[in-house]
Amino acid sequence: MSFQGSSFRPLVVIDNKEIREKFNEFKNRGMNARGRSTTRIPRAMVTFGTDDGAITDKTHLLPITRATGIGMVNAVIPTRVQAGNHLTLADLQTMQAEGWEITSHTWSHADLITLTDAESEEEIRKAAEWIEANGFGGRTLCIPYGHYGDREKLIAQKYHRAVRVSNTDAKLTINKTPIPTFELKSLWFSNLTTIDAAAGFPLNSFERYKWWIDKVVAEGGWLVLFTHGWEIAEWGASQLLTDVINYAKTVADIVTFNEGLDRMDNVMESGLYSNNYERGYDPHFAMSMDGKISSNYQLITKIKKNEIKSTMLPMDFENQTITLCNVDSTQTGWPMLPGGYKAGVLTTYAIQPIGATWDIGYYWQEFKPYGTVSSTRFIRSAKDGENLWHPWTRWDPSVTINARINTYTAATLPNELPVGFRIQCCVNSANSTGMPAAATGLFIIDTTGLANSSPTDFGFVYQEYHRYATNEVWRRVATNGTTWSSWQKLSYVST
């Protein structure tokens, strides 16, 4: 049996050839002809679930879901159904009729990574077949013990729509688009008083779960909350679970796995996509219904002109992205060269290590002024440990600016010039007013001396005018920041 499932099951492929072959199927997976999603990503979602299918799911959890009006996910072990202190088949059918989703927790709750290839596949396959044969709709594998590897994910892709794993990394607790379909993270209920390092509240407190729910509401995504029915019974935590459910209902959508996947499933996955720190650099490509992409191949995002503002802070940019944005001359706050170089191209690099929480010293921006042929750039980086930018720094290893024609004229004052450059600018006869010859020529301006002395010591600044198609050259020097000396001819060779 190989699960065909919902029309929104992600397209999981391993090589580029299959990606190309399957691209035309997007329109059958919630995509229109232009490749855009026709299914909107909903508001924040929260899933409540339990593992093992113990009898306490009926005695303690079912009354809670009836009182709160939600359905939970129950990951059951087929070999334990109707055995000992576990649910019967009739119990599970009742739960499904009341909105619960019955799904797989493997055939016998074996530690999959300790098994042979054949044994691991049998554990996953037989449980999936049992779920389907008994009329249950769950298509998500809940991994026992949180132990899994690439092998288990690949096997699960044959029989399941998704995989839920246990999570120990707070940075990955919320599943965000594109979701790691075969590695959905989960947050577990606890009776410990240990402080949740991320939330700042005890693990067994209502405030902790409220903090995580508020976080998924603020940031978007999918929070999966799991427990065991026997734990809720032993801890006397029925009221805590009830309070958490009631709060979640007021701010988020409560969904089962199938419902959540119908709304947030990826359109395409290539390779073994994982957002774990150590796996984010593996070859993969994943695209979500809202157009977000994750890939170890660095993707460049083009942003609408002027949408990025000079006041935006480093943390306003999503990690692992490179963005390009054109900036026009109506915008303020960007660096510029004299003579009207206000427009330009802004490139923002947000490439802190995958999984790092606060390492924005890796963020930096580059501004390339419009029209400069030289390598002139302006660069600023994020301050280490602060959500702020350093001041812009001009970077031009050639110290030569090849400016657009007529950018600089004889009327340009010494204090209007960039410091530390040799500027070359063609001037046509119509704009040669003030030049030593009313003719087309090459205008050379040198301010490199200012970089080695005081930026106001204008005696180091000079200009030359080379008349077009001749060897005639004139020079003048700055006497102060607003005045030039008279032009003096340096040479003349008749042509």
Is 390 in the same domain as 419? no
Q: Assess if residue 307 is contained within a domain.
A: yes
Confidence class for position 2, pLDDT limits 50, 70, 90: very low
Residue 29 is predicted with a pLDDT of 43
Mean pLDDT of 61-83: 97
Helices 206-219 and 238-251 sit at what angle, rounded to 10 degrees?
20
Peptide bond into 178 cis (omega under 30): yes
Is 64 in the same domain as 204? yes
The side-by-side arrangement of strands in the sheet containing 364-369 is: 300-303, 321-327, 344-350, 364-369, 377-381, 393-395
**% of residues, the chain, pLDDT over 90:** 59
Mean pLDDT of 322-328: 92
Does residue 275 register a pLDDT over 90?
A: no
Average pLDDT of the chain is 85
Residue 24 is predicted with a pLDDT of 43
Does residue 232 register a pLDDT over 90?
A: yes
- In tens, the pLDDT along 5-59 reads 333 334 444 444 444 444 444 434 444 333 334 445 568 999 999 999 999 999 9
Is 198 in the same domain as 104? yes
Number of domains the chain contains: 3
Does residue 404 register a pLDDT over 90?
A: no
SS3 call for 97: helix
Predicted TM-score (pTM) of the model is: 0.66
Residue 441 is predicted with a pLDDT of 93
Q: d(Cα 184, Cα 165) in Å, to the nearest integer?
A: 6
Q: d(Cα 295, Cα 250) in Å, to the nearest integer?
A: 35
Is 391 in the same domain as 405? no
End-of-domain residue from the set 370, 395, 420: 395
Q: Per 3-state DSSP, what percentage of the chain is helix, strand, and coil (rounded to 5)?
A: 30, 25, 45
Handedness of CA 364, 367, 373, 374 (dihedral sign): negative
> Highest mean pLDDT: which of 37-51, 319-333, 343-357?
319-333
Q: Tell me which long-range contacts 391-395 makes (C-beta under 8 A, separation of at least 24).
A: 392/335, 392/367, 394/335, 394/418, 394/420
Between 218 and 272, the more confident residue is 218
Mean pLDDT of 303-328: 90
Mean pLDDT of 283-309: 83
* Domain extent at residue 160: 11-288
Is 266 in the same domain as 377? no
**Type of residue found at 81:** V
CB 445 within 8 A of CB 428: no
Is 59 in the same domain as 137? yes
Q: H-helix or E-strand containing 132?
A: helix 117-133
DSSP 228-269: -HHHHHHHT-HHHHHHHHHHHHHHSEE--HHHHHHHH-EEEE
Q: d(Cα 411, Cα 78) in Å, to the nearest integer?
A: 87
Contacts of 90 (CB under 8 A, 6+ apart): none
Is 220 in the same domain as 245? yes
Does residue 257 register a pLDDT over 50?
A: yes
Contacts of 226 (CB under 8 A, 6+ apart): 48, 49, 50, 51, 142, 164, 166, 186, 187, 188, 189
Q: In which region does residue 342 sit, left (phi positive, over 0), alpha (psi from -120 to 50) or beta (all else)?
A: alpha
Residue 10 is predicted with a pLDDT of 42
Residue 277: closest CA among 183, 189, 200, 186? 183
End-of-domain residue from the set 288, 321, 355: 288
Residue 244 is predicted with a pLDDT of 98
Q: What are phi and psi of 152, to 5 degrees?
A: -65, -40
Q: Assess if residue 404 is contained within a domain.
A: yes
Is 210 in the same domain as 349? no
Between 455 and 440, the more confident residue is 440
- In tens, the pLDDT along 85-95 reads 999 999 999 99
Work out the end-to-end distance of the chain between its first and last CA atoms, rounded to an integer number of angstroms. 90
Which two tokens mark 387? 């959500």
Q: Assess if residue 1 is contained within a domain.
A: no
Does residue 432 register a pLDDT over 50?
A: yes
Which two tokens mark 401? 């600016």
Is 339 in the same domain as 411? no
Q: d(Cα 273, Cα 154) in Å, to the nearest integer?
A: 11
Residue 30 is predicted with a pLDDT of 41
Confidence class for position 374, pLDDT limits 50, 70, 90: low
Residue 208 is predicted with a pLDDT of 97
Residue 346 is predicted with a pLDDT of 93
Residue 268 is predicted with a pLDDT of 85
Does residue 195 register a pLDDT over 50?
A: yes
- Most distant CA pair in the chain, distance: 111
**CATH number reported for the structural domain that contains residue 86 in this entry:** 3.20.20.370
Mean pLDDT of 395-409: 78
End-of-domain residue from the set 342, 360, 395: 395
> Highest mean pLDDT: which of 72-76, 166-170, 349-353?
72-76
CB 327 within 8 A of CB 306: yes
* Pairing mode, strands 101-104 and 483-484: unpaired
> Highest mean pLDDT: which of 125-134, 348-357, 465-474?
125-134
Residue 217 is predicted with a pLDDT of 96
- In tens, the pLDDT along 238-248 reads 999 999 999 99
Does residue 235 register a pLDDT over 90?
A: yes
Is 312 in the same domain as 420? no
DSSP 5-21: --TTS-EEESSHHHHHH
Does residue 340 register a pLDDT over 70?
A: no
Q: Assess if residue 4 is contained within a domain.
A: no
Is 185 in the same domain as 66? yes
Is 184 in the same domain as 95? yes
Q: Assess if residue 372 is contained within a domain.
A: yes
Residue 341 is predicted with a pLDDT of 54
